[in-house]
């Protein structure tokens, strides 16, 4: 299922931390509201990268349910968005090396894929596995972005109020990997950014910046969220333009602002929440609605 690049393995061995090696994973696939995870991956790959591991994507992808795109020009095929899944060595802003697992989320053989990642983690001396993605949330873009950090070691997670009680949602390879890693005694943490649900289908760089900040806080890496400042400004300008053209969107944002402010006031005052925030069932319903809107004939965010 995996092939190892000998030169890449040697390059990693030459610079790998003696302890505390980090693997970040962000895949194109099941759910990534605001393209938060995809933007994180693109951002981290802007510098030099060295391939270490390549997965056999033909074993893992269901091409009929999630078709890659091809480009036809006049009378010939000129491009193919070729599926891939691999692990590269990259560096943070301070030059510290870490690993990035990126590409297409597997449709098939999840358990075999996760065991393969476990082999990669063990062979390359990874002690901390981190993921990032966006989830749709009934929250306004006019308030600070929040995130849920979840993982296999509670002492590494921030001591913050949870937005969720208990909610059942469809599984993903990313979340199953965290679950299996916990069973195996490995450290895995995911940063799930709460993206305003009305922006879930759009590219929202602010969500990627929040994800990068969460990854930095846990790992100590320097991931330069400010590198997305210009894209975030453009996104804000486009959102403002669309709001100005829609009374319906303005009304929705106003309601969400009231709900958010009520939650913050209750939390800061240690008061019980008055029930205006969405329940776990409502959040689950919003999640399902988001999934139903995905175009499964192509990778999300493409």
Rounded mean pLDDT for each run of 10 residues along the chain, 302 residues in total: 97 95 91 92 96 97 92 98 97 97 96 98 97 91 92 86 76 94 97 92 95 96 97 95 87 88 72 44 49 41 38
Angle at 147 between CA 194 and CA 19, to 5 degrees: 135
Is residue 298 included in any domain, yes or no?
Answer: no
Is residue 267 included in any domain, yes or no?
Answer: no
Is residue 297 included in any domain, yes or no?
Answer: no
Q: What confidence score (pLDDT) does residue 273 get? A: 40
What backbone torsions phi and psi does residue 300 show, to the nearest 5 degrees? -55, 140
Q: What is the CATH number of the domain that holds 77?
A: 3.40.50.10900
Is residue 252 included in any domain, yes or no?
Answer: no
Strands of 85-91's sheet, edge to edge?
A: 2-4, 50-55, 85-91, 97-104, 21-28, 126-137, 188-196, 147-151
Is residue 87 included in any domain, yes or no?
Answer: yes
Is residue 102 included in any domain, yes or no?
Answer: yes
Give the per-residue SS3 of 58-115: HHCCCCCCCCCCEEEECCEEEEECCCCEEEEEEECCCCCEEEEEEEECCCCCHHHHHH
Q: The dihedral of CA 167, 170, 174, 179: what is its sign?
A: positive
2 alpha carbon, distance to own chain's centre: 23
Residue-range definition of the domain harbouring residue 150: 2-244+278-292
Is residue 16 included in any domain, yes or no?
Answer: yes
- How many domains does the structure of the chain reveal? 1
Is residue 201 included in any domain, yes or no?
Answer: yes
Angle at 245 between CA 242 and CA 251, to 5 degrees: 90
């Amino acid at each position: 299922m995996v092939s190892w690049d000998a030169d890449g393995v040697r390059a990693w061995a030459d610079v790998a931390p003696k302890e505390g090696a980090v693997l970040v994973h962000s895949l194109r696939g099941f759910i990534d509201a605001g393209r938060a995870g995809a933007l994180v991956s693109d951002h981290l790959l802007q510098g030099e990268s060295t391939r270490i591991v390549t997965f056999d994507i033909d074993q893992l992808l269901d091409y009929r349910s999630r078709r890659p795109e091809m480009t036809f020009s006049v009378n010939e095929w000129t491009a193919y968005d070729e599926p891939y899944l691999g692990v590269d060595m990259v560096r943070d802003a301070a030059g510290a090396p870490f690993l990035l697992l990126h590409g297409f989320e597997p449709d098939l053989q999840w358990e075999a894929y996760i065991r393969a990642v476990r082999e990669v983690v063990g062979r390359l001396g990874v002690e901390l596995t981190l993921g990032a993605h966006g989830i749709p949330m009934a929250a306004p873009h006019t308030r600070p972005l929040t995130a849920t950090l979840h993982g296999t070691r509670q002492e590494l997670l921030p001591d913050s109020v949870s937005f969720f009680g208990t909610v059942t949602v469809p599984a993903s390879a990313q979340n199953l990997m965290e679950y299996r890693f916990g069973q195996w005694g490995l450290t895995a943490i995911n940063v799930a950014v709460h993206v305003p649900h009305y922006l879930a289908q759009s590219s929202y760089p602010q969500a990627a910046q929040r994800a990068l900040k969460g990854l930095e806080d846990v790992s100590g890496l320097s991931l330069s969220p400010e590198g997305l400042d210009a894209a975030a400004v453009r996104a804000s300008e486009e959102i403002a333009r669309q709001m100005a053209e829609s009374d319906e969107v303005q009304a929705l944002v106003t309601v969400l602002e009231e709900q958010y402010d009520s939650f913050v006031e209750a939390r800061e005052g240690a008061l019980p929440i008055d029930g205006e925030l969405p329940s776990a069932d409502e959040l689950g319903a919003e999640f399902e609605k988001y999934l139903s809107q995905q175009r499964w004939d192509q990778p999300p965010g493409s």
